[in-house]
Structure 1
Amino acid sequence: MDIEGFVRDKLAKQDNSTNKSEKSLENLLANIIMEYKDITHENAILMAQSVIDEVQTTLKIEKSNDLFLKDIINIPKSEIAMGEMGVGSRGAGDFFVHRKIAEIVASTKSSSLVNPEAQDDGGVVKSPVSGSKDDEDVYITTAVDGIHSRLSEYPFLGGFHVARASLRDVCVMGAEPVAIISDLHLADDGDVGKLFDFTAGVATVSELIDVPIVAGSTLRVGGDMVLGDRLVSAVGSIGVSKYPPTARKRAESGDVILLTEGSGGGTITTTAIYNGFFDVVWETMDIGFIKASNALVKDDLVKDVHAMTDVTNGGLRGDAHEISSTTGLGLEFYQDNIRNMVTPKVLSMLETLEIDPLGVSIDSLMIVAPEDVAKKVKNSVKSVGVKIAEIGTVDNTGVPRMISSDGKEEILEPLFREAAYTKIKKLVGETTPEDFEIMKEKVQKAADNSIKKKEKVIDYIKNNP
């Protein structure tokens, strides 16, 4: 419960800031506080008064003569909410917003080999190796992933799967993971044991693949202003490689598309828990993905692979769309081959729940490589006990397509949101809003205004040393 946001909303809706309405807000907020904290009504009133006073103090900035400060603190609003736009739901709306974030990053004109504009799994910078005889370059890959929101109540599983996700994002860029960092935010009333449980989940992955956890941060969600026990966290990974990254843009026409067997991660775990398929949770507890990518590094095949990605955001539909958009190439997939690369228990659960296997994260490793290299890749991956198969080819059509067993062709396009895998998601739906184009225009304007604000502040700082 965000009590600061609650107060700001109530004050904004009040016509007149009368003593009567303020007292009413105090009592209302005090009652909410007492639902979360074992304190007296008197202390709850004092807390409520403090929150209201702090918020009212900040609102005085609007009456300030400092126009520049007012400009900085005012959010360039789009009037479109996160849920409306489908942000975080790994569909068309989410991809659009991420492209706008990438535009803000690109406006800094800072150089990197792979940045958010590529919509890839991780970012890459190139750095010379100090003291190297041959002026060698090392490619440093970084990635960060947030815990699946529905795993806040299951911190160990949340930590385990977000660590895997972050490491996957490093691996698919052709890098060897060398370090893990962890960021924890637990709300004010959360049990400290949640911190330990989450960290144990991350540490399990760390120990299994022998990559150390080297740093982190632990804070409260919203400090004193957020009640409850919600856990919000992220895990970052760092990897290195002596070869250029296997980014999506390197895919070429004529390449073969390979896929490792996927058993899912945070999304499939959430689906299993909230739909009662508890035995499927164990299907997700593996490190096959990382074993497969590390095998390619060990066998020195990364330099010959054109692109790698993990089938996560929006499922294969989303990945196919992003690769095609980034490269301008077409992709042809074979439906039966893909289905065979989802572990039987996971596939059975998805079909029982009528969830599109192509629209959710199954955590497979997808590899795009020339035909002669693909044979070596398959042998390498199989040598560490991970299943892999050819699922399609790259061509010049510019369109991602799925070929079914009866020869029918379907254009692969991401849904507005990824396939609904919980009851609440099914209620929200997957269909694109009728006013999506208008929503995009508003979001674009907000992103543009954010860039303008950034440039204004940079100019101020440079001219006022």
Structure 2
Amino acid sequence: MKKKVYHVDIEGFVRRSMKEQDEKSIQEDLKNKILEYKEINPERAGQMAQAVIEEVKNTLKIDECSDESLKDIIKYPQSNVGMGEIGVGSRGAGDFFVHRKIAEIVSSTKSSALINPTAQDDGGVVRANVGSDDVYITTAVDGIHSRLSEYPFLGGFHVARATLRDVCVMGADPVAMLSDLHLADDGDVGKLFDFTAGVCAVSELVDVPLVAGSTLRVGGDMVLGDRLVSAVGAVGVSKYPPTARKRAESGDVILLTEGSGGGTISTTALYHGLFDVVWETMDISFIKSSEAIFQAGLLPEVHAMTDVTNGGLRGDAHEISKTTGLGLTFYDDKIRGMVNPKVLEMLENLDIDPLGVSVDSLMIIAPEDVASKVKKAVSGVGVAIDEIGYVDESGKSKLVKDGVEEELKPLFREAAYTKIKKIVGDIEPEDFEIMKEKVEKAALDAIDKKDRVVDMVRGR
């Protein structure tokens, strides 16, 4: 009987093993790994192992190739810094740094956008001319929460909400969604259907169609197991310029709607056995809040909107300050009052910082007179909203707690919301600056490579 396991990258296993093991040992080890997943006879497993080894050996012959340009394209700039080491995906200082490097590669192109990844905003925006009118087109994409692979419906439901939120906070009206779905070789096809049903539940609730997508296996034949990896994108349109973070102004009021969480909170609840909390996350109040602001005609007067997701309020405040050069002051008690009571109770009982995790609130930055109108509109659709702070010119994010003001900084990783994350920790590693230098060089090397290839293709 097959063992219940997640996945193994057999090509990666061979590449690593070839550095220190002989071919016969690698084949035997790989054959045994394949038999853990596949109900096939040992002879066939051995043939599969040998085939993978031969394919990897063929790719390594690139070192003997005399075409230096081809070698340059095939090989990637190595930073020797692992994703987990620097915290990519963990919504903290390391993750933000790497995303800024990605944005630099994007901005090095000759193409332009109204809002591109350098703004570290929720979505990207281009301006198109339709007849005599300007139309602002917003796109966004979000990946499924990695710990929801075993819970496809929840994964699909929450990632659909996430990508729609990212379009809404840019001031656009969502008009379409698309999905990219990858399931490893041994995954049950039912996962595909369950994930899609989760996405379509949101689609039906907010009347935004799922119009296109792609479905593939994770790594094709090279990854065994049943891990689900996927993403959902959204497209939105608007007649007005985007409510991007960079539009925030000193003196603005900061509003926050009640947040019940999404993928992160569901994961926290599931992996701590607090299953009833999952129901709290199954809502569309965020979309209702955004639509209320649109319907009230307040969008042109709102300066900025964002969803409290990446690294929680700590992360969002840091990124807004960095983008605008302005300061933001928040009141701790007001923020906690805008976290769903059941969710807040769970976080506090588990010693998880509510300001360091994604609670999926809508944060609105607007002039004081506009803020009062926004509160009225959002309250009118049954969503709680309150004033939690203001924008100033200090250049820093600050938190006022029990009358004491402290700087609000993102941690190296978002607040640890599972037991494994608590073991990994959120303390900045001693060699963080060295890692940043290595990553910086790899990003610059990637830009240089892109420029060389563009020149070469144009010159052919």
Q: Which TM-score applies when normalising by structure 2?
A: 0.98
Is 1:363 equivalent to 2:360 in the alignment?
Answer: yes
Measure how far apart 1:12 and its partner are.
Answer: 2.4
Is 1:69 equivalent to 2:66 in the alignment?
Answer: no
SS in 1 for 2:356: coil
Aligned partner of 2:108 in structure 1 is 107
Measure how far apart 1:74 and its partner are.
Answer: 1.3
Measure how far apart 1:5 and its partner are.
Answer: 0.4
Q: Which runs of 4+ in 1 moved over 4 A?
A: none
SS in 2 for 1:5: helix
SS in 2 for 1:12: coil
Tell me which amino acid in the other structure corresponds to 1:39. Answer: I
Aligned partner of 2:443 in structure 1 is 447
Measure how far apart 1:392 and its partner are.
Answer: 0.3
- In 2, the alpha carbon distance for the partners of 1:313 and 1:403 equals 21
- In 2, the alpha carbon distance for the partners of 1:196 and 1:49 equals 34
- In 2, the alpha carbon distance for the partners of 1:183 and 1:399 equals 38
Aligned partner of 1:217 in structure 2 is 214
Measure how far apart 1:109 and its partner are.
Answer: 2.6
Is 1:274 equivalent to 2:271 in the alignment?
Answer: yes
- In 2, the alpha carbon distance for the partners of 1:138 and 1:460 equals 35
Per-residue CA deviations over 1:31-58 (Å, capped at 9, x if unaligned) read 0000000000000001001100100011
**The 10-residue stretch of structure 1 (80-89 or 406-415) with the greater mean CA deviation from structure 2:** 406-415
Aligned partner of 1:302 in structure 2 is 299
Aligned partner of 1:345 in structure 2 is 342
1:186 to 170, 183, 194: 183
Is 1:56 equivalent to 2:53 in the alignment?
Answer: no
- In 2, the alpha carbon distance for the partners of 1:103 and 1:109 equals 12
- In 2, the alpha carbon distance for the partners of 1:448 and 1:381 equals 45
SS in 2 for 1:35: helix
SS in 2 for 1:358: helix
- In 1, the alpha carbon distance for the partners of 2:228 and 2:300 equals 39
Aligned partner of 1:197 in structure 2 is 194
Is 1:3 equivalent to 2:4 in the alignment?
Answer: no
Is 1:393 equivalent to 2:390 in the alignment?
Answer: yes
SS in 1 for 2:355: coil
Aligned partner of 2:19 in structure 1 is 12
Tell me which amino acid in the other structure corresponds to 1:173. Answer: M
Is 1:434 equivalent to 2:430 in the alignment?
Answer: yes
Per-residue CA deviations over 1:311-354 (Å, capped at 9, x if unaligned) read 00000000000000100001110111100000110000000000
Matches within 5 A, 1:414-433: 414-433=410-429
Measure how far apart 1:408 and its partner are.
Answer: 0.4
Per-residue CA deviations over 1:265-304 (Å, capped at 9, x if unaligned) read 0000000000111110000000000010011111111110
Per-residue CA deviations over 1:140-199 (Å, capped at 9, x if unaligned) read 000000000000000000000000000000000000000000110000000000000000
- In 2, the alpha carbon distance for the partners of 1:44 and 1:168 equals 46
Aligned partner of 2:3 in structure 1 is none
- In 2, the alpha carbon distance for the partners of 1:318 and 1:358 equals 9
- In 2, the alpha carbon distance for the partners of 1:24 and 1:431 equals 39
Per-residue CA deviations over 1:406-446 (Å, capped at 9, x if unaligned) read 21011011000000000000000000001111110000000
SS in 2 for 1:368: strand
Measure how far apart 1:25 and its partner are.
Answer: 1.1
- In 2, the alpha carbon distance for the partners of 1:136 and 1:422 equals 49
User: Aligned residues: percent identity?
Assistant: 74
RMSD: 0.6
Aligned partner of 1:176 in structure 2 is 173
For structure 1, the residue ranges without an aligned partner over 5 or more in a row are 15-20
Measure how far apart 1:390 and its partner are.
Answer: 0.2
1:256 to 253, 256, 279: 253
Matches within 5 A, 1:401-416: 401-404=398-401, 406-416=402-412
SS in 2 for 1:401: strand
Alignment length, in residue pairs?
453
